[in-house]
Every structure is written in structure tokens, then in C-alpha cells.
Amino acid sequence: MVDFTLTDEQKDLREMAHNFAEKEMRKVAWEFDKDGTWPQEIIEKAWEVGLMNTHTPEEYGGPGLDYLSGCLIEEELGWGCSGIGTSLAANGLASAPVALGGSEEVKKEFLGMLTESPKLASFCLTEPDAGSDVSGMKTTATKKGDKWVINGSKCFITNGQYADWYTVYAKTDKEAGHRGISAFVVPRDDTIVIDKKEDKLGQRASNTATVTFNETEIPAANLLGEENKGFKLAMMTLDRTRPGVAAMAVGIARSAFEFACEYSKERQQFGVPIAMHQAVAFMIADMATKIEAGRLLTWQSGALLDNGLRNTLAASHAKRFAADSAMEVATDAVQVYGGYGFIKEYPVEKIMRDAKIMQLYEGTSQIQRLVIAKEVLMGRNVNEPIPEAIAKQDEAKAVEEVVPA
């Protein structure tokens, strides 16, 4: 029988994450949102209890958790506060390319840095003129002797202002489009400038900044994977991180749903709680279905990875559906609250603002549809294995087929 029965360890992890979200995040979430405050104390506590760097292998000081367990944790963090949760989870996005493409020495140095103390790393792919279309990237990396020299700006970088190192994607062949991009791990130094902290609609407790590299020199050994194969590495990374993003979207939706349920049973109109009116009851029912479906898609996308199977299609299904559902559920929660839902004094207003970014970062909902359509039309086998020896070859083929030159 196929099921998602959780192990005792996974149940304990989920309970620990929920308790942390409830006690350390939720109580302050709305204050942090109001002022856009940086949650340093919460980050240090989360690192201390093991809720950060969850997929970092044990040999580099991490817990080496499976991807399904990571999804359980990220749902609870999204339920607590997705802004703070994004700050806690961003190390996973930055460190995945290092784990996939770094040399043993690089992995020991940079992954070890995150597990030895509560330090942060950022993933630097997006640019002002290169969002969904990364082939328009203008940041360059030029080989000079035994060093690479990086120049360019990256925008919308999570934790950019506070990161100790960056995973940076840059053009090493300007004429080759996405096939001329390479990936690097870049320690922070005086040549790296934080130009702008964004004043965002939602997830305001998460730092989002523009990071500029000015003649930034790094050792040649800091190249991740092969030269001009950085786009492939980015896609392999996103297959591994999108399940967690989907899980966070499920957590946001669940939070909005719970507030809406509670309010609908308390608010009286026409002599009865509004939950007794079919129009509201059906909204609540639809919310519940979307959350259950989103969670199952999310768990599937993580479980495929844990079983050594390719999850590109499943991860895009999960990310697209969970993100869109989070926005729909949060918007309906505001509707259940009526006029009060539009006022900052009530919780669902913040949740609706937080939900919107889930449809945008780590691949917009439109990009997920593009991936899904290509995968479906190509008739890919969802149970296709990705043994380590052929993983890069298979992923490269997938990228060539899915992304136009």
C-alpha cells in the first residue's frame, strides 16, 4: 500500500517546528511585519534547535534530513510567519549548488561555515533585466590567472544584506545565452556592496536586497560544477528547493484557513454564525480541499527525491498549485472577515500580502506551467531514476528540452 505515513522521527520534527513557530515566530510576526524588522534573535534560536540547514549532510555538520522531513518543517515555519520562515530557509537555496557542484574542500569550508555558527548565505541569480529569462544575465565572471573576477548586480536577494557568502551565477560566455552561465561560491568582502533594501508588500521580516559585485576576486576552485554549466546547476537546485517553497505556501494557506474558520464561527450575521451560511461554509470547504491537495503534491515532490527519482514535474506541480492556492485561500479568508479583513488590526491582511510572493519567487506560476507543459508533452516518466552517476547528464538533457536557447 502506498501512503505518506510519517515516521516517529518525522512526527517529532513537525511538532518541534510547530512549537517553535507558535512560541517564537507567531507572537511577534505582526510586529516584525509592521516595521520590517530583522529577526536576528529568532534566527539564532532556530539555528540552535536545528531548524536551519536541514539538508546539509552530516559530514559537514548538518542533520542531513530527507526532503519530506524538510517539507514538514517548512510548512510549520510558513504557518508561523512566512517572512521569518523565508529568512530561516534561504540557506538551503544558497547551499544546494555548493552541495551539488562544489569540490570537497569548498563544501567543507562553506557548508561547514553555516553549521558551525548561525551564519547566512544567499542565492544570487535574478537581475533587474534577467528574471524568468536568465539568458539576459549581465553579471560576468572573467578568468584571470588562478582567479575569477566577478562584476555585476543581483536583485531581490533574500538575506543579501546579512549573508556571509553568496552563490553567484554569472556569464562566462557572453554569446551562449543560458549555456554560457557558470556558478560560483563567493565569500563576502569589501568589494561587495549592498545597494538597496527593498520595502516589500509582504514577507517584510525577510531581508531582500540588491547585491553588487565590483571586481570581486575569488579562487578558481570556487567554481561550482563545470564552466558554462551553471544554468543546469540552478535547475537541479530548484528541483530540490521547490518542494520546501510549496510546503511554506501550504503553511500560509493553513494559517489563513484556521483564522477564517475561527472567525466564521464567532461572527454573527442574520442571527447565526456566518459559518452556518452556505456561501461561507462552501468557501471554507474549498479552502480545506486546496490545502489537502497542496500538501499531498508537496509531499510527493519531496518523496520522489528521497527515493532517488526525478521530481522536476512533481516539484512544478506542487509549487504552482500550492502557491496559487495560498493566494486564493488567503484572499478568501479576507472575504470571510469582510471589511475587518481589510484592516491591519486583523491577521488575515498580513497573510494575504505574504501569500502573493509565493507565486513569484523560485519560478513564477507561469514558469511552472511552462515546465509542466513541456514535461507532459514530452511524455516524461515521473518514475525516472536519477542515479548519481547519470544525474548531471539527465538533468542537462531536461534543461535543454524545457528551456529555449
**Residue 403 pairs with which residues in a beta bridge?**
none
- If asked whether residues 282 and 348 sit together in one domain, one would say yes
| Identity of residue 155 | C
Distance CA 181, CA 177 (A): 7
pLDDT number for residue 380? 72
Q: How far apart are CA 75 and CA 318, in angstroms?
A: 13
- The answer on pLDDT for 189 being more than 60 is yes
The CATH number that applies at residue 40 is 1.10.540.10
Q: Is the pLDDT of residue 92 over 70?
A: yes
Looking at residue 372, the DSSP 8-state letter turns out to be H
- Give CA–CA dist 346/81, Å, rounded: 15
The answer to whether residue 27 is domain-embedded is yes
Least confident of 37-41, 100-104, 175-179, 378-382: 378-382
Q: Same domain, yes or no, for 104 and 134?
A: no
From 228, 253, 282, give the residue that closes a domain: 228
| Cβ partners under 8 Å of residue 281, min gap 6 | 264, 275
| SS3 state at 216 | strand
Query: Is 21 within a domain?
Result: yes
Q: Is residue 168 part of a domain?
A: yes
Strand pairing report for 192-197 and 181-187? unpaired
Q: Does 258 map to a domain? A: yes
Mean pLDDT of 382-392: 54
Give burial (CB, 10 Å; 0-12/13-18/19+) of 213: buried
Q: What is the pLDDT of residue 382?
A: 62
Q: Which among 228, 249, 265 is the end of a domain? A: 228
The structural domain count of the chain equals 3
For residue 159, the domain's CATH number is 2.40.110.10
Q: Is residue 1 part of a domain?
A: no
Q: In the structure grid, which three cell numbers stand for residue 232, read together?
A: 543546469
Q: Tell me, what CATH number does 325's domain have?
A: 1.20.140.10
Given pLDDT bands bounded at 50, 70 and 90, which one contains residue 386? low
The tally of CA atoms less than 13 A away on the side-chain side of residue 190 is: 0
**How far is residue 108 CA from its own chain's centroid?**
23
How many Å separate Cα 166 from the centre of its chain?
16
Q: What is the pLDDT of residues 101-114, one digit of tens each?
A: 999 999 999 999 99
**Cα(240)–Cα(38) distance, integer angstroms:** 27
Percent of the chain with pLDDT over 90: 91
Res. 400: pLDDT tops 60: no
Residue 27 to residue 30: CA distance in whole angstroms: 8
Do 142 and 219 belong to one domain? yes
| CA–CA separation, 126 and 121 (whole Å) | 15
The pLDDT tens digits of the residues spanning 310-355 come to 999 999 999 999 999 999 999 999 999 999 999 999 999 999 999 9
Q: Are residues 386 and 288 in the same domain?
A: yes
Look at the alpha carbons of 72, 77, 82, 83 in this order and tell me if their dihedral is positive or negative: negative
User: Which residues are known catalytic residues?
Assistant: 362
Q: Identify whether residues 94 and 147 lie together within a single domain.
A: no
Q: Are 176 and 145 found together in one domain?
A: yes
Query: Which residue, of 89, 116, 143, is where some domain finishes?
Result: 116
The pLDDT tens digits of the residues spanning 216-248 come to 999 999 999 999 999 999 999 999 999 999 999
Whether residue 239 sits in one domain with residue 218: no
pLDDT grade, residue 393 (50/70/90)? very low
In a domain, 369, yes or no: yes
Residue with the bigger pLDDT between 397 and 291: it is 291
Helix (H) / strand (E) containing 81 = helix 67-101
Task: Say whether both 314 and 192 belong to one domain.
Answer: no
Provide the 3-class DSSP secondary structure of residue 304. Answer: helix
Asked if residue 98 is part of any domain, the answer here is yes
What's the pLDDT score for residue 47? 98
Alpha-carbon distance of 72 to 91, in angstroms, equals: 17
CA distance 39 to 45: 10
Q: Please work out, in degrees rounded to the nearest 5, the angle formed at the alpha carbon of residue 305 by the alpha carbons of 302 and 309.
A: 130
104 touches 281 (CB < 8 A): no
Task: Verify that 289 and 179 share a domain, yes or no.
Answer: no
Burial class of residue 108, CB neighbours in 10 A (0-12, 13-18, 19+): middle
pLDDT value, residue 384: 74
What does the alpha-carbon distance between residue 116 and residue 113 come to, in Å, rounded to a whole number?
5
The range of the structural domain enclosing residue 61 comes to 8-116
2 belongs to a structural domain: no
Closest of 405, 283, 400 to residue 336, by C-alpha: 283
Report the residue count for the chain: 405
Determine the pLDDT at residue 79. Answer: 98
321 and 216 share a domain?
no
Looking at the structure, tell me whether residues 363 and 265 fall in a common domain: yes
pLDDT at 379: 83
- Whether 109 and 130 share a structural domain: no
